């Protein structure tokens, strides 16, 4: 396999506007009853995931619906499966509707490992988002993992903790997955093309987006502590969730330092994602 360490240190800068429309539609997708956002209103946590979206033309997409390998990220052609493994975020400031923002990105690390399903490549990208030339208002260290097609597409999940004091159950269906794909301009076929997902990538159903699960976990904090400002959030994907099977997001009440433990579980009580948030 090619040595991708040479990609460490590569940078990219993009600009965008914090727009109310996508954020209002995300609230609707999450079944929230928030009033429409207006210029100057604070954007919700994770708003930056709806900005700086890829805009490759249709002819530049691969068979899986993702942009073809190359460009800013290392072109890991040997390992077709690409997944969002986790993130570590802090929110030192506040993004506001109407604000012009800049995302400054750097490839912080590339590691090659051998796992139970074969070779793996982990890429860590550090994003800093703020007004052009200004301090970072959001910092997001984003882990991407590349895997091969050998071995099981989805490993068995370890048991999740007992139901938390905070809990919300829901059924991820193709409509929810489609709406989130549309909001994030995500063409990856595993989220909407069942025939491709089962035949080519050997999953048992449509895969629930990792960032959507993380968003549902942080949304649980916002539902339980609507007046609290979220200072930090991190998550790690443990096993996939699929459409048509119930899932639950769980959380604990904050401790004395404002730390909240969060996790998502599948219909069989297996751990799908674990996370932590810190509130003021």
Q: What is the model's pTM?
A: 0.94
- Indicate the DSSP class of residue 244: T
Please, what is the end-to-end C-alpha distance for the chain in angstroms?
Answer: 45
What pLDDT score does 151 carry?
61
CB atoms within 10 A of CB 230: 21
Alpha-carbon separation of residue 230 from 133, 141, 227, 277, 279 (angstroms): 24, 17, 10, 7, 4
Q: Which two tokens stand for residue 100?
A: 């012009």
Give the structural domain span for 150. Answer: 4-279
What pLDDT score does 152 carry?
62
What pLDDT score does 169 carry?
97
What pLDDT score does 154 carry?
64
What pLDDT score does 117 carry?
67
Domain count, the chain: 1
Query: DSSP 3-state assignment of 196?
Result: helix
pLDDT tens by residue, the chain, 280 residues: 678 889 999 999 999 999 999 999 999 999 999 999 999 999 999 999 999 998 889 998 888 888 887 788 888 888 888 889 999 999 999 999 999 999 999 999 999 888 766 789 999 999 999 999 999 999 999 999 998 877 666 667 899 998 889 999 999 999 999 999 999 999 999 999 999 999 998 899 999 999 999 999 999 999 999 999 999 999 999 999 999 999 999 999 999 999 999 999 999 999 999 999 999 8
What pLDDT score does 114 carry?
81
What pLDDT score does 216 carry?
98
Residues 6+ apart with CB under 8 A from 105: 11, 12, 13, 14, 72, 125, 126, 127, 128
What pLDDT score does 118 carry?
76
Domain of residue 259, CATH code: 3.10.129.10
């Amino acid at each position: 396999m090619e040595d991708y360490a040479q990609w460490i240190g590569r940078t990219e800068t993009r600009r965008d506007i914090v727009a109310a429309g996508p954020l209002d539609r995300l609230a609707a997708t999450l079944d929230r009853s928030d009033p429409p956002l207006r210029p100057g209103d604070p954007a919700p946590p994770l708003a930056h995931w709806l900005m700086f979206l890829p805009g490759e033309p249709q002819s530049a997409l691969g068979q899986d619906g993702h942009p073809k390998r190359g460009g800013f990220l290392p072109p890991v052609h040997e390992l077709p499966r690409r997944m969002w493994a986790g993130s570590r975020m802090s929110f030192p400031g506040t993004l506001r509707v109407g604000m012009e923002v800049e995302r400054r990105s750097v490839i912080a690390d590339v590691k090659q490992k051998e796992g139970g399903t074969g070779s793996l490549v982990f890429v860590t990208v550090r994003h800093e988002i703020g007004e052009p030339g200004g301090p970072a208002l959001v910092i997001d260290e984003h882990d991407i993992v590349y895997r091969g097609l050998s071995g099981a597409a989805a490993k068995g999940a370890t048991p999740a903790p007992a139901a938390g004091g905070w809990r919300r159950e829901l059924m991820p269906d193709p409509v929810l997955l489609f709406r989130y794909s549309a909001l994030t301009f995500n063409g990856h076929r595993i989220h909407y093309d069942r025939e491709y997902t089962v035949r080519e990538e050997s999953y048992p159903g449509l895969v629930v987006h990792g960032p959507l699960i993380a968003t549902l976990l942080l949304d649980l904090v916002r539902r339980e502590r609507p007046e609290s400002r979220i200072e930090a959030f991190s998550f790690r994907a443990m096993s996939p969730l699929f459409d048509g099977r119930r899932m639950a997001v769980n959380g604990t009440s904050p401790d004395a330092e404002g730390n909240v433990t969060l996790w998502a579980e599948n219909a069989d009580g297996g751990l799908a994602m674990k996370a932590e948030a810190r509130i003021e």
